[in-house]
Amino acid sequence: MEAHTQLQTPHQPSVSALSPSSSTSSSCNASVVPLSFFPVWTEPHGDKTEPLQDALNRQYYMAENGGEASTAGSATKTQWLRFVGTMGNGGMEWKGVEERFDRLALTGNGVEPVIKWSDFGLCIGMQQTPEFANELLRALRGTRDRNVDMLKDELHSYWCRMTDPCFNSRIRIYFDLCDKNMDGRITKKDLKQTIILSASTNKLSLTHEEAEDYAALVMEHLDIENQGYIELNQFETLIKMSLSKGSFSTNHLSIRRPYYSFDLCEEPRSKNEVLFRSYWRRAWIVLLWLIICTALFTWKFIQYRHRAAFQVMGYCLSTAKGAAETLKFNMALILLPVCRNTITWLRKNRSINSIIPFNDNINFHKMIAGGIVVGVILHGGAHLACDLPRISDSDRLIFWQTIAARFGYHQPSYFEILATKEVATGIVMVVLMMIAFSLATKWPRRQPLSLPRSVRNVTGYNTFWYSHHLFIAVYALLILHSMFLFLTDNVTEKTTWMYIAIPVLLYTGERVFRAIRSGFYEVEILKASIYPGKVLSLQLNKPEGFKYLSGMYIFIQCPQISPFEWHPFSLTSGPEDDYLSVHIRTAGDWSYQIYSLFQEATLSGVKGYPKVHIDGPYGAASQDHVKYDIVVLIGLGIGFTPFISILKDVVNGAEKSHCHHTGCREGSLRKAPLKAYLYWVTREQSSFDWFRDITKEISNSNQKQSVVEMHNFLTCVYQEGDARSVLISAIQALHHAKNGIDFVSRTPVRTHFARPNWISIFSKLAHRHREARIGVFYCGPSAVAKELEKMCTKFSTKTSTRFVFHKENY
């Protein structure tokens, strides 16, 4: 829960697509190659994109007819085996290639401008993969020397060949690319070299021995007569298999047949209805909070409007006192969302959990903090800029007739008022709040590289954590501040302690309880594993009496690093496992230190690991998966962790009571979902190592029940159909067909290339589960969360399926 991930690799083409229709160049009879893997079924971005309703109709026709939809006149095979790279608009016509040529052109010995042969890849959009572009140029030039300058006419002829509508023509180019000595035969050695090139181009880890084995696999499949080589017709079979939708790619959507428009939802819902059903719990909580704040402000404002002091300070006094009343309330309320044990306990009550959005506790905590900031500005600003100057500058007669007794019949100066206990404690509180609030914002807390080094040295999670404890002093000063009031000695009006007493006691009790409980939990490190990407996996013995539900998390402390720091991590073990496990990715100073400690202990072979303490378990958004019969789990990078225990739970406990985990009463049975879909998106192949054993375990168990459908997406590999990844796709299909193992992830779960096409995925889910209510759980960066939440709203509006979005704090 501490780590981050990025979706886009430096060389990965964008998944935002262009129109599936093709155009014809006037200069050569070739169709423009659509360069995006998926047709444009995303949000409209201008008049070239396809409306969502039409896209859904297209998808539903595909699902109904077992085929693939298309529009009249659209490109077919020209979408596959692409050699031309991406441009800014997602596609490339000859005009774009020509513009690049003109920018790079040099005047050679002759009259005509030329470009260096090494700039060929840049001209066709393969600037991120120069080695592949060079091999492509060798294939296009044949036996000619490739290391000579290139004229525009020559480049144009190559462009026409690469975008030729004739599929066989482009297969011939790729065949020549693999045929190193251009003799019309591809040997095992040729295949090995091309496999290594393709793997390097797609940032895949591959040894020479593995490349040798995969080349042998291809030869075994194609060279039936054991000639020691394969020819064009055999090679064409391999490429067509890799480009075939039927091979295994479930996220592959091509365009071939006409489609028909029909309404997807028999009873369409309005967008307002969907939004209301999705957000009504948040709305009523926020509305209630605003009503209470407004009522308290109005009450105090009117009360002081009729006080004698109003004659001296006017509406400034009423404003300051109204804001003060809301501050009392919010300073009490802000503690409740961070009382984690109380919230975890309340989650178990289905009635309360159904009306209070406990998953938004941190967001509500931040919202209240915003209310406190507004209150401080109004209260402190009205006092310092308006009330106090009016006291010192007011008419002496009015002062004596109204509030002189409260100041010992002495009209103080402005600076004398600032030196009083009331004002001094208030100013100190504001300063401490400013420090804590500033260091709790996203930039200082996440310690981004864009901050100056001097600033990063005094920021980060540690600084946030320790600065937040300044509020202990703030609450003490708040009590003192409320006891010394200028305008009253009436104890019944000094109500600050009444507001904050119960929340402070509750929060203090929770902290004491956590300290005691963590001391009772004796945990021993059973196993520590170090994975690529600086990921640490810890397997701990399960303390006696430790009960939890899938989707929960725990806090971990390492005394060797700090006796005060506790960090949250999702449990990756299932409730029925006899151990606890977590996966920690380095994202800050603490996680880097604990990774280094265990790495040193693992590599040195010293017996015993660093001591750790745990506290928990605590409820999280993923815990709500039990409310749904169908769940969709979407994790980006290390964001896969909250869903591992859920997958185990679904496989092991479909329609099984979970009361023995929670001690719940007979009337509040919990059952696992009947069907779970997992979509794990990562940008590095090494990420699959993190959960390989767990994935295999779930896959083996799932063979009996088929209640879990898992999909891996690797974004560092070029989209299927791109010439740079086509051989990888072919080997992947062959290897999986023969061994049942995906050679990219080295698990039974097949890996898709590039980013997911969410439109396609949600379309298929909506068709497969009509009239169903599907819980969509996401853990990852906020940018993708907004896209998925919007997708859920769209499909809940346009189809009969309702998608309910949940986001894990990340």
The reply to whether 10 falls in a domain is no
**Residues 303 and 377 grouped into a single domain:** yes
Dihedrals φ, ψ of 585, to 5°? -105, 135
Secondary structure letter of residue 248 according to DSSP: S
At 28-74, the pLDDT tens digits run: 543 333 333 222 333 333 333 344 444 444 444 443 333 333 332 33
Total Cβ atoms within 10 A of residue 434 = 13
pTM above 0.85, yes or no: no
First to last CA, the chain: 5
Between helix 641-652 and helix 692-705 the angle, nearest 10°, is 30
**Residues 632 and 510 grouped into a single domain:** no
Q: Residue 609: which region, alpha, beta or left (left: phi > 0; alpha: psi -120 to 50)?
A: beta
- The whole-number average pLDDT for the span 416-429 is 88
- The whole-number average pLDDT for the span 707-715 is 89
The reply to whether 547 falls in a domain is yes
At 428-445, the pLDDT tens digits run: 999 999 988 888 887 766
Q: Are 612 and 523 in contact, with CB atoms under 8 Å apart?
A: yes
Instruction: Tell me how far apart the alpha carbons of residues 307 and 12 are, in angstroms, rounded to a whole number.
Output: 69
Between helix 421-439 and helix 471-483 the angle, nearest 10°, is 160
Q: What is the mean pLDDT of the chain?
A: 79
- CB crowding 558-594: b at 16 or more within 10 Å, else e: beebbeebbbbbbbbbbbeeeebbbbbbbbbbbbebb
Q: Is 315 in a helix, a strand, or coil?
A: helix
Instruction: Tell me how far apart the alpha carbons of residues 123 and 114 are, in angstroms, rounded to a whole number.
Output: 12
CA distances from 338 to 1, 223, 347, 551 (A): 17, 66, 14, 18
Instruction: Tell me how far apart the alpha carbons of residues 98 and 120 are, in angstroms, rounded to a whole number.
Output: 12
- Domain of 130 in residue numbering reads as 91-163
Alpha carbon 727 to its chain centroid, in Å, reads: 30
Total Cβ atoms within 10 A of residue 238 = 26
**Residues 400 and 313 grouped into a single domain:** yes
What is the pLDDT at residue 291?
96
Greatest Cα-to-Cα distance within the chain, rounded to the nearest angstrom: 115
**Residues 695 and 788 grouped into a single domain:** yes
CA dihedral angle for residue 60, residue 61, residue 66, residue 69, rounded to 10 degrees: -110
Domain boundary among 139, 163, 187: 163
Q: Are 677 and 633 in contact, with CB atoms under 8 Å apart?
A: yes
What is the pLDDT at residue 379?
92
What is the pLDDT at residue 499?
92
Instruction: Tell me how far apart the alpha carbons of residues 323 and 332 are, in angstroms, rounded to a whole number.
Output: 14
Is 669 a residue whose pLDDT tops 90?
no
What tokens were used for 678?
């997992």
CATH number, domain at 689?
Answer: 3.40.50.80
Which residue carries 């066709």 as its tokens?
Answer: 124
Angle (CA) 227 228 233, round 5°: 70
Give the torsion sign (CA, 198, 203, 204, 205).
positive
Total Cβ atoms within 10 A of residue 61 = 19
Instruction: Tell me how far apart the alpha carbons of residues 147 and 417 are, in angstroms, rounded to a whole number.
Output: 84
Q: Where are the beta strands (DSSP E) in 18-163?
A: 69-70, 106-107, 113-115, 150-151
**Residues 577 and 606 grouped into a single domain:** yes
The reply to whether 427 falls in a domain is no
The reply to whether 548 falls in a domain is yes
**Residues 553 and 691 grouped into a single domain:** no
| pLDDT category of residue 274 using cuts at 50, 70 and 90 | confident
**Residues 595 and 698 grouped into a single domain:** no
- The whole-number average pLDDT for the span 164-185 is 87
**Residues 558 and 532 grouped into a single domain:** yes
At 556-570, the pLDDT tens digits run: 999 898 888 888 999
What is the pLDDT at residue 398?
84
Closest CA to 197 of 727, 721, 684: 727
Total Cβ atoms within 10 A of residue 470 = 17
Domain boundary among 136, 163, 190: 163
Domain boundary among 145, 163, 181: 163
The reply to whether 190 falls in a domain is no
CATH number, domain at 573?
Answer: 2.40.30.10
What tokens were used for 311?
């004659």
Closest CA to 441 of 519, 373, 487: 373
**Residues 392 and 367 grouped into a single domain:** yes
**Residues 594 and 704 grouped into a single domain:** no
The reply to whether 557 falls in a domain is yes
Is 660 a residue whose pLDDT tops 50?
no
- CB crowding 797-806: b at 16 or more within 10 Å, else e: bbbbbbbbbb
Give the torsion sign (CA, 639, 644, 646, 650).
positive
Which residue carries 């008419």 as its tokens?
Answer: 395
Is 628 a residue whose pLDDT tops 50?
yes
What residue type is 26 in one-letter code?
A: S
Is 109 a residue whose pLDDT tops 80?
no
At 565-624, the pLDDT tens digits run: 888 999 998 888 889 999 999 887 788 889 999 998 888 877 788 899 999 899 888 888
Number of structural domains the chain divides into:
4
The reply to whether 299 falls in a domain is yes
What is the pLDDT at residue 797?
87
| pLDDT category of residue 456 using cuts at 50, 70 and 90 | low
- The whole-number average pLDDT for the span 216-241 is 87
The reply to whether 262 falls in a domain is no
CA distances from 282 to 350, 389, 559 (A): 17, 42, 39
CATH number, domain at 113?
Answer: 1.10.238.10
**Residues 102 and 130 grouped into a single domain:** yes
- The whole-number average pLDDT for the span 225-230 is 88
3-state helix, strand, coil split of the chain in percent (to 5) is 50, 10, 35
Q: Strands 567-570, 535-541: parallel, antiparallel or unpaired by DSSP? A: unpaired
**Residues 408 and 338 grouped into a single domain:** yes
The region of weakest confidence among 115-119, 239-243, 280-284, 739-743 is 239-243
Q: Are 378 and 293 in contact, with CB atoms under 8 Å apart?
A: no
